[in-house]
Amino acid sequence: MQPVTYSRLQTPSPTFFARLAGILMVVVIGLGSAWYMEHNGHWVTGMDNQIVWGMPHVFAVFLIVSASGALNIASIGTVFGRTPYKPLGRLSGLVAIALLVGGLSILVLDLGRPDRLIVAMTHYNFSSIFAWNIFLYTGFIAVVGIYLWTMMDRPMSPYNKAAGTLAFVWRLALTTGTGLIFGFLVAREAYDAAVLAPMFIAMSFAFGLAIFVLLLAVLYDATDRPISEYLIRRMGRLLGLFVVGVQYFVIVYHLTSLYATEHDGIERFILMDGGAITVLFWVGQVLLGGLIPLLMLLVRSDLLAISRLCWASVFVILGGLAQVYVIIIGGQAYPLELFPGRSVSSTFFDGVIHSYIPSFAEIGLGLGGCAIAIAIILVGMRMLDFLPARLDDKMVNPHAQD
């Protein structure tokens, strides 16, 4: 293997500026959607007093979870000493920070009163997982920033292993905290499960790697540089294993709920009688996000091509969005069990399964957060040396002949 050299994105071409302008237009749409919801109130969205977390939260949680997983490439190279992944460490850290900032931007702009964010940042209720997550999210950005410093500044390189280990532990804590937002909600039958924490960690590994693979493929195709087939096969097998992990925890989660009779109602709703939620679970989460990628990645993996890996990554992302939607929206749509063993009805729709149709403003805000993340990545690569100049076999394959 040869020494790694890094470069910035070359002098921007008209195509680059056109793509960046398109991304910024989506950011403007997201900001306009946030202003529209704040100016008119959340009654213009599909959310109500029963489903208080809507489509913006689906995008936000997906991006936040993916941010942790995107750093996995850097962690594998630094913490676990897998040399083929080391050239991608810088880009991995940049993508992780960008995805987290994009996800948090959605949450801030969906508050209704973003100006009151300072209250949440100065007054903490440490019995709430939300308070802990503020420290986890902001701390993640700081820790990954230090981690990148040790990778990009030669005098800091002796501290790279320690910074990488800290970042690895911190991102596990971050994803655990995100999963426990739902795991600690005892009022909702679909939540209140400790297995949600490790399931979110597995989800982060799969979603983050899928996004990273797509980004890497687009960048190297646009700059007409090859990617080592050895690296493609390794990332393909790794993504396949992460998808297996996600499906394993999904099975454990639902089998555990089915074992408890008190959860028969919510399980029947998710798996059989939930309408769109059931379709998203079986078609989106299980088929698109699980079975199809596994067939593409693990069958004849020795012949895995970059195009097949990219399509598998697209399916993992689509299945991931469906999975987060089922968790967030499906969990809220099922009515609260206010009085176990009793039938409850009132003018407030107690005991009624609630419907939810996301508005264009919610979707616009979610896409705006994704565009913010992409814009940060592009600008970061234009300003600093994040991109490996080469990713051929001589750079990443320890068995390649010089």
CA atoms within 13 A on the CB side of 130: 9
Q: How far is CA 51 from the centre of its chain?
A: 22
Cβ atoms of 209 and 235 within 8 Å: the answer is yes
Model pLDDT, residue 17: 77
Q: What is the pLDDT of residues 60-79, one digit of tens each?
A: 999 999 999 999 999 998 88
Domain spanning 6-337+348-396: CATH 2.130.10.10: no
Residue 59 near residue 102, CB atoms below 8 Å: no
Return the pLDDT at 1.
Answer: 54
Prediction pTM value: 0.92
Q: For the chain, what percent of residues have pLDDT higher than 90? A: 48
More confident of the two residues 350 and 141 = 141
Cα separation, 113 vs 15, whole angstroms: 38
State yes or no: pLDDT of 338 exceeds 80: no
Percent of the chain with pLDDT over 70: 92
Average pLDDT over residues 315-336: 92
Reported as a single tens digit per residue, the pLDDT across 21-44 is 889 999 999 999 999 988 888 888
The closest of 385, 378, 235 to 310, measured between CA atoms, is: 235
Contact 127, 88 (CB under 8 A): no
Q: Is 7 helix (H, G, I), strand (E, B) or coil?
A: strand
Residues 326-338, mean pLDDT to the nearest whole number: 86
CB 34 within 8 A of CB 55: no
The pLDDT value recorded for residue 361 is: 92
184-212: per-residue pLDDT in tens? 887 788 888 889 999 999 999 999 999 99
Distance CA 12, CA 9 (A): 7
Per-residue pLDDT at 339: 67
Inter-CA distances, 174 with 100, 107, 293, 384, Å? 11, 16, 26, 27
Dihedrals phi, psi of 341, to nearest 5 degrees: 85, 0
